[in-house]
Structure 1
Amino acid sequence: MGEGFNFDDSIEGIWDKLGEWMDSLILSLPNFLLAILVFSLFVLGAKYFGKILHKVLRFKVRQDSIREITIKIIKVVIVAIGFFVALGLLNLDKVLTSVLAGAGVVGLAIGLALQGTLNNTFSGILLSFLPEIQIGDWIENNGYAGRVIEINLRSIVIREADNNYVVIPNSQVIDAPFKNFSRTSRSRVMVNCGVAYNSDLEMVKRITIQTVSELYPQKGNEEVEFMYNEFGDSSINFVVRFWTEVTSNRDILLARSAAIIAMKKVYDQNNINIPFPIRTLEFNNSLNIQKPISGENEL
């Protein structure tokens, strides 16, 4: 029959094991502190290198989104290098090799689980290098309109006219059409109006084109266009189209407002009526209160 359990020997074995771990920790402490110091230096280096790179790229690259995404990627790469160097100082090369060997399987699993996130990430990289959309542009996308404040690896942030922020996933911006008001310095503005049926249509056209042309001088091949488009219920309707310098939806509204004010003034000076719908109620059958109702005397 074997010997019974010896409690003292077990305690002694535990203490021996703890002593070995303590000796190993003491021996590894300098490398551990050095690894922390090296990793911290890489993190600080990435931060300051990003600032220097931002100053350099500011004169080399005009597009803000390209500068920001480039700086973010380089900072992540520097921090990752520092992490691997720190693992090497801790003599964890074998562990690192095992981690990298299993990274393929883990990466596949993560990729399947985070398809939407990865899609937004790659879309963010594409948006950062897309010249048709930049930080500071006024765009319309997915039913929202505002100025682009930030383009990151997950979403695009726009500030609407009411000063509220809207965060749109990058994949939705890439997959859906968007309208950029800031890519062209001049755009065409349209004003719809109508005049009374008894108006001199030729005179209305002439003074409208003259008024708008004086307010917004046209350049090159540009011209003020005036076209009647329908016989309305109470007016003959037309549209005026002219070119002016606009880079946002607000600029379009201001240009349209100024044109409407100028057109109304010149119409008033020339006795041109802009009619509005009028409803007339006619009562052809009048009620005679003196005439007795049939059957009233039979009661």
Structure 2
Amino acid sequence: MEFSIASQITQPLQKVGEKLQGWITEAITMLPNLLAGAVCYLFFWLVARAVKRILGKAMGKYSDNKVLQNLFTTIAYYSVLGLGFFVVLEILKLEKTVTSLLAGVGVIGLALSFAFQDIAANFISGIILAFRRPFQVDQIVEIGGVMGTVSRTNLRVTVITTFQGQEVYIPNKDVLQNPITNYSILGQYRIDLAVGVSYGDDLEKVEELVIDTIKNLDGVIRHEDMIFTYTGFGSSSVDFEIKFWIEYPDHPGFLEMRNKAIKAVKKAFDKNEITIPFPIRTLDFGIKGGADLSQMSVRVLSKEKD
């Protein structure tokens, strides 16, 4: 009985010892390959860093697009590391592992393509924007109703700092799908200023005065493209618009020029006794079919007090 118990304990221990001995033998046998794999991967890592640095310098000579530079240098870096990883697996004689990894990468890639459609769409849109370059950092743009200065971009989002001092993160997919207005690319902006004058003023004089006033403002350009048009008969004024062009370095510059134009027109009107009327209502009882107010008899009804 004691012999059978001892044999039951000894046999498993013997099998464990044999297994450990086999692992140690295999490890010793694989040790040269492990060292060769480590040296090989270190080599590929150094090569990847060198390729990233050299490619970055080379692209910097031909393009100042930081997004494209980061994109291509990052792709090159991880491509070299990936190649080194598969070479190491071959050195370690793990061919089946290589095949399984390639198959797994395909399956995982297919699954991730469905799970992260928005991320992939933003990434691809970021690449398209990097090539097309509809705007650059520090330019004033309006995208999807958001207006401000482009502070930074990457392959996922475009960051706009609004004129109220807030940062808005717009996914690149939405940037690509919405109209993009770039106010800085031409460096010019047209201001449309609406004003009204009284019906008693000389309209020819008003037009000449307003055009001369705007032309004499510093910062107004393209004088030949200035447009003055009367737009209609308002309830208390004859309305007009003056359209003129300015240099557009930034949004505060636009606000300052509009402010200067309003003050200059008001000052010119005051000097030449031209009126910008308040909203008024005129009661005319002498129209056809009516009677003048002065000719109407007014009766006052009084109630006798008890």
Interval containing the TM-score (normalised by the shorter chain): 0.7 to 0.9
Q: Which amino acid aligns with 2:182?
A: N
Q: Deviations over 1:198-256 (max 9, x none)?
A: 2222112112111211214534x842111111222332222111122215444332322
After TM superposition, list the pairs within 5 Å mapping 1:21-100 onto structure 2: 21-25=23-27, 28=30, 32=34, 35=37, 39=41, 42=44, 46=48, 49-100=51-102
**Shift of residue 146, structure 1, vs aligned partner:** 1.8
CA distance 1:142–1:39, change in 2 (3 Å): farther
| Local SS of the residue matching 1:129 | helix
**Residue 267 of structure 1 corresponds to which residue in structure 2?**
269
**Shift of residue 78, structure 1, vs aligned partner:** 3.5
After TM superposition, list the pairs within 5 Å mapping 1:115-264 onto structure 2: 115-215=117-217, 216-219=219-222, 222-264=224-266
Q: Which amino acid aligns with 2:189?
A: S
For structure 1, the residue ranges without an aligned partner over 5 or more in a row are: none
Deviates further, 121-130 or 35-44:
35-44
Q: Which amino acid aligns with 1:218?
A: I
Contact 2:236 2:279 in 1 (8 A): yes
CA distance 1:119–1:226, change in 2 (3 Å): same
Deviates further, 252-261 or 171-180:
252-261
CA distance 1:262–1:83, change in 2 (3 Å): farther
d(CA) in 1 for partners of 2:39 and 2:8?
46
Identity value in percent? 35
**Shift of residue 168, structure 1, vs aligned partner:** 0.9
d(CA) in 2 for partners of 1:11 and 1:278?
109
d(CA) in 1 for partners of 2:129 and 2:227?
36
Q: Which amino acid aligns with 2:270?
A: D
**Shift of residue 182, structure 1, vs aligned partner:** 1.7
How many residue pairs get aligned? The number is 286
Contact 1:64 1:134 in 2 (8 A): no
Contact 1:181 1:246 in 2 (8 A): yes
d(CA) in 2 for partners of 1:150 and 1:30?
49
| Local SS of the residue matching 2:192 | strand
Q: Which amino acid aligns with 1:107?
A: G
Out of 14, 19, 25, the position equivalent to 2:16 is 14
d(CA) in 2 for partners of 1:210 and 1:189?
16
Contact 2:236 2:281 in 1 (8 A): no
Out of 100, 111, 114, the position equivalent to 1:112 is 114
Q: Which amino acid aligns with 1:71?
A: T
d(CA) in 2 for partners of 1:275 and 1:32?
91
d(CA) in 1 for partners of 2:141 and 2:57?
27
Q: Select the structure of larger CA radius of gyration.
A: 2
Choose between structure 1 and 2 for higher RCO, CA contacts under 8 A separated by at least 6 residues.
1
Contact 1:127 1:151 in 2 (8 A): no
| Local SS of the residue matching 1:140 | strand
Q: Which amino acid aligns with 1:163?
A: G
CA RMSD of aligned residues (A): 3.4
**Shift of residue 126, structure 1, vs aligned partner:** 0.4
Contact 2:159 2:170 in 1 (8 A): yes
Contact 1:184 1:247 in 2 (8 A): no
CA distance 1:90–1:62, change in 2 (3 Å): same
| Local SS of the residue matching 1:163 | coil
| Local SS of the residue matching 1:6 | helix
After TM superposition, list the pairs within 5 Å mapping 1:272-291 onto structure 2: 272-277=274-279
CA distance 1:103–1:192, change in 2 (3 Å): same
d(CA) in 1 for partners of 2:299 and 2:43?
97
CA distance 1:61–1:26, change in 2 (3 Å): same
d(CA) in 2 for partners of 1:111 and 1:206?
65
CA distance 1:127–1:242, change in 2 (3 Å): same
For structure 2, the residue ranges without an aligned partner over 5 or more in a row are: 283-297
Contact 1:69 1:128 in 2 (8 A): no
Deviates further, 82-91 or 110-119:
82-91
